Amino acid sequence: MKKNDLLNKWLWKWHVIAGLISAPFVTLLAITGFLYLLKADYETPKQKHITEVQIQGTPISFEKQLEIANKNAIKKPNAMVIPTQENQATEFVSGKFGGKKSLYINPYNATVSGEIIPATTLMFKIRKLHGELLLGTWGTKIVELIASWMVVLIISGLYVWWPSRRWSLKGFFIPRINQGKQILFRDLHVIFSFWISGLLLLTLAGGFPWTDVFGANFKWMQKVTNTGYPATWQGHHFRSNITGETLSLDTMVNKAKALQLKGKVSIELPKGPNGTYTVSNEFYSNLSAQKKIYFDQYSGTIIHQANWEDVGILMRGRMWVMAFHQGQFGAWNWWLMIFTAFALCTASISAIISYIKRKRKGSWSIPKVPKKFNIGYGIIGVIVLLAALFPLFGISLIFIFILEKFRKRKVTTN
């Protein structure tokens, strides 16, 4: 591959500038992402005294368990998770998303075994640190901006590093350990960065849907192209025909079990006399196995069944990359994300050390670009495309352009 030397220097300059600004944040994101991947390993043993119970005789009915949950929960439950083991406490869920709370009922002694509020846990705080730096909306936008520049760092880094002559297969795997610490850490940075570049782009794709600006634009695109969740998935317009008595929760559990859905199966309770029982499952190992089935709360007949195939292609793609981002496709995915987090952290720290070793005293040591270099239309097109795709990146470019103009005017004046 023959490279343009002037373009190479220009991209190197901006790679260094962007890296200096984002490297500390990238390191933090890598560390917090790694820690959050350990969520299940950390929380499962700590919550075991709540989620697991001793088997003692015959369990009481789910209907009676719901009555106990209604009396003890701060907010009445809106759903129940069907237990899959005999020693498992029954989980009754109140609220959604960040306001979710789970009350656990011991079905053998009819007592509350405990309550889990995700928003009060250490892992929730780590997730908030990872997604918004504990700074709320402003923090989310900072993370989005850094993530946008990470895409630029990956693209520019691949071009700058890619050898144009004297290829050495060893250089893709082994850092040079006998040419000084600066070269060693520089090689650690580029080797780890190269091998995770594709994984990192895929991981970033899984993080962007949570952001404010890109995420909102993506949702808008889903809406105008009708490629999100169909209206039938939410089921707001489905109604039960009021006739007789409401089916017991135990009857609905039996109906839900008969469906043989994979993964974590929940029953959403009816909201009012016209509401429906809604059975759904979470099964990230195979997203296509997820379903949502609406039952008449009186007759128990199926009003509607929504399958994963009914979901629009953009939403399906979005859910896939988000699940991949969190390592939810099984052990292979989890270990891959662990490796990505470790490699990204190593690449970021080694880049910082390499820069410090190379930096001259009294100078930022930013690579210089000859004045005769002009950006080609191809590069301008790529920049415009990235700015349109990642608006915060585009805004930051405008800000940098204005600062650069002021700097040049100041130099000219002096």
CA angle 237, 238, 242 (to 5 degrees): 125
Label residue 114 exposed, middle or buried (CB < 10 Å: 0-12, 13-18, 19+).
middle
pLDDT band at 167 (very low <50, low <70, confident <90, very high): low
3-state secondary structure of 237: coil
Q: In what order do the strands lie in the sheet with 111-116?
A: 111-116, 101-106, 90-94, 79-81, 264-268, 276-282, 291-296, 302-307
100's tokens: 């979710």
**Other C-beta atoms lying within 10 Å of the C-beta of residue 258:** 8
* Rounded Cα–Cα distance for residues 332 and 335 (Å): 5
In a 13 Å sphere around the CA of 398, the CA atoms on its Cβ side amount to 8
The pLDDT of 292-296, averaged and rounded, is 96
Query: What digits encode the pLDDT tens for the residues 336-383?
Result: 999 999 999 999 999 999 999 888 887 778 878 877 778 888 889 999
Query: What digits encode the pLDDT tens for the residues 173-229?
Result: 888 888 888 889 988 999 999 999 999 999 999 999 999 999 999 999 999 999 998
Sign of the Cα torsion 56, 57, 62, 65 reads negative
5's tokens: 């030397």
Domains and CATH numbers, the chain: 5-37+125-219+332-374 (no CATH), 229-311 (3.10.450)
356's tokens: 């410090």
